[in-house]
Amino acid sequence: MKVTLMHGAGGEVMGELLQILTRLSHRNAGGIGLEALDDGAIIPLGGQNVVFTTDSHVVRPIFFPGGDIGRLAVCGTVNDLAMMGGRPIALSCSMVIEEGFDTADLERIVRSMDAALGECGASIVTGDTKVMEKGALDGIVVNTAGIGVARTVVRDCTLKPGDAIIVNGTLGDHGMTIMAERAGLSLGSQLQSDVAPLWTLVERALDAGEVHAMKDPTRGGFASAINEMARKSGVCVRVREEDVPIRRSVRSASEMLGIDPLQVANEGKVVMGVVRDDAEAVLAALRSHPYGREAAIIGEVSEGSGVILETAIGGERFIEPPIGDPVPRVC
């Protein structure tokens, strides 16, 4: 087998690569480790649940409507911590920079990272820099790792029958913005990436009710995330098409490009499984936050398996996990 772009896209094909990359005997430090394939690891330490995660970022273009690779790097790591209930504390940042990269662009990236850190109360505390010869990579690669502390540990595999499925806003914004930029589609300011640090939003939700499971729908989009949650939890999820929030501009761009917006990456969204009796309180908490004003309850969890979409015309179809991400190199 040779590695292809599909292997890094977050879909079903990536599972083949993960079987190789996780073939380790030393992959658990006494908590929830690599074997769980969650958004991060939980390491019990000094009576606290320490959350640890890492991510590398290779978006193209580096600057895009709504953000850039710097904001993306911070938000991606902060959100992985938040999905496990972790309050972000400290991040590392390693950059691999291509020879000839403009230092003014580098300064812009660092300012963007700093602004995102300020939104969630975290800090970059250590890092590393390498420079590669021109042509060895496409501009810049940024790796961030992060640690946080979880008062309440949340997993992506603990959906329960009866749970309500909630998303904090419109789906497909980031991936379709990147794709439209690459395709040169002229949609003015209608398409904007949703890239955002979600800890303070998640914190409000956790304070408002019992959240059983969370996941951020990045590579492979909502379709990949909800299928993984359902499969790991051993349940069926039913989603109402009419309740799924998708911007008109995203629908238009996806139709022009022949891409399902449910399979497109998001960088400021969370999918939650919430105890039914707490769903309205959690929804209200999300809507009280700037990054949750368009939050919606979009479905329920039941006994069974798979993810079923109840269509607007009264039919049903499966939401299948993508084979690979239709928009590679978006995060």
Torsion of CA 265, 122, 159, 247, to 10 degrees: -30
Q: How many CA atoms lie within 13 A of 297 on its CB side?
A: 17
Tell me the domain boundaries of the chain: 38-150, 164-318
Cβ neighbours of 16 (radius 10 Å):
12
Q: Give the residue, 2 or 179, on which the prediction is more confident.
A: 179
What is the distance in angstroms between the CA of the first residue and the CA of the last residue of the chain?
24
pLDDT digits (tens, 9 = 90+) for 183-213: 887 666 789 999 999 999 999 999 999 999 9
Domain 164-318 classified CATH 3.90.650.10?
Answer: yes
Residue type, 205: A
* pLDDT score at 120: 96
More confident residue, 173 or 327: 173
Instruction: Sort 277 into a burial class: Cβ within 10 Å, 0-12 / 13-18 / 19+.
Output: exposed
CA–CA gap between residue 52 and residue 81 (Å, rounded): 7
Q: Which CATH superfamily is domain 38-150 in?
A: PurM-like, N-terminal domain (3.30.1330.10)
On the question of a common fold for 38-150 and 164-318, the answer reads no
Helix or strand (DSSP H, E) at 110: helix 103-120
pTM greater than 0.85 (yes/no): yes
Predicted confidence at residue 36, as pLDDT, reads: 62
Q: In whole angstroms, what is the distance from residue 282 CA to residue 297 CA? A: 10
Query: Is 317:308 a contact under the CB 8 Å cutoff?
Result: yes
- The answer to whether residues 289 and 201 touch, using CB atoms and an 8 Å cutoff, is yes
pLDDT digits (tens, 9 = 90+) for 39-64: 788 888 888 999 999 999 999 999 99
Predicted pLDDT of residue 256: 85
Task: List pLDDT tens digits, range 96-110.
Answer: 999 999 999 999 999
Q: Which residue has tokens 């929030």?
A: 245
CA distance linking residue 119 with residue 114, whole number of Å: 9
Name the residue among 215, 78, 201, 206 with its Cα closest to residue 146.
Answer: 78
Q: Which residue has the higher pLDDT, 35 or 302?
A: 302
Please state, in angstroms and rounded to a whole number, the distance separating the CA atoms of residues 158 and 313. 31
Pairing state between β 236-240 and 296-302: antiparallel
Neighbours of 245 (CB within 10 A): 16
pLDDT at 6 over 70: no
HSE-CB of 315 using CA atoms within 13 angstroms: 4
Q: Do 179 and 249 contact (CB within 8 A), yes or no?
A: no
Contact 274, 166 (CB under 8 A): yes
